[in-house]
Amino acid sequence: MPEVAVSKKASEVPAPSRPTEVFQPMFPVGKFFGLSPFAMMREFTDEMDQTFRGSGFGTEIKDWAPVMDIRQCDGNLVVSAELPGLKKEDVKVEVTDESLTIEGERKQEHKEDHAGYHRWERSYGQFCRSIALPQGAKTDQVKAELKDGVLKVSIPVPETAKKARQIPVAG
């Protein structure tokens, strides 16, 4: 089989196609022009911190907000908070005349050892929620119970006369 040599002249090389969108580099070159090497490294680390903040990398403890329901039922203000995996030692409930505060910390670890690999996942999270209480709440009769991952706090409150009126909806 004979060899074939192929060559192109510079004028025959097609021009590179231009993208329809303008490319914005993550670290604009002009931003670093004229900076000292130390200032450039500081800018770079700030950009990296901002990029990975909240992405699950690192070991810092992040805020965590459990799902909560608040309702008035049978003369009680009932607050339910979903706290899966927490024990009663991990949760603190405080009450004042003005508010109910629920706070705690979640620490979960999951380990797997199999032939050929080892996996260890950890997640941490703190939460603190405060709920304003109505006037006349009987804070000396508060009851709290943690069962099946749901914290239920019951606070006796006085019944208030409900005034309801129909509001016309304009169209």
Residues 32-88 pLDDT 10s: 566 677 777 888 787 777 776 655 554 444 556 788 999 998 889 999 999 988 888
Its pTM stands at 0.54
pLDDT score of 145 more than 90:
yes
Which helix (H) or strand (E) segment holds residue 102: the answer is: strand 99-114
Residue at 42 is within a domain: no
Report whether 89 contacts 101 (CB < 8 A).
Answer: no
Taking the C-alpha atoms of residue 85 and residue 108, their distance in angstroms, rounded to an integer, is: 8
Residue 155 has a pLDDT of 94
Task: Using alpha carbons, select from 106, 71, 84, 93 the residue that is nearest to residue 144.
Answer: 93
Please give the residue that has the higher pLDDT: either 131 or 34. 131
Domains of the chain: total: 1
Sign of the CA dihedral with 62 first, then 67, 70, and 76 last: negative
Residue at 100 is within a domain: yes
Residue at 40 is within a domain: no
Give the domain range for residue 114: 62-156
Residue at 30 is within a domain: no
Please count the other Cβ atoms lying within 10 Å of the Cβ belonging to residue 125. 15
Taking the C-alpha atoms of residue 31 and residue 21, their distance in angstroms, rounded to an integer, is: 21
Please give the residue that has the higher pLDDT: either 123 or 87. 87
Residue 59 has a pLDDT of 46
Which residues, 6 or more positions from 97, have their beta carbon under 8 angstroms from its beta carbon?
133, 137, 139
Q: Is 144 helix (H, G, I), strand (E, B) or coil?
A: strand
Residue at 150 is within a domain: yes
Sign of the CA dihedral with 84 first, then 87, 88, and 91 last: negative
**CATH assignment of the domain containing 134:** 2.60.40.790
Residue at 48 is within a domain: no
Q: Can you list the alpha helix ranges (DSSP code H) found in 33-123? A: 37-52
Q: How confident is the model at residue 17 (pLDDT cuts 50, 70, 90)?
A: low
Residue pointed to by tokens 């005034």: 163
Please count the other Cβ atoms lying within 10 Å of the Cβ belonging to residue 54. 10
pLDDT score of 94 more than 60:
yes
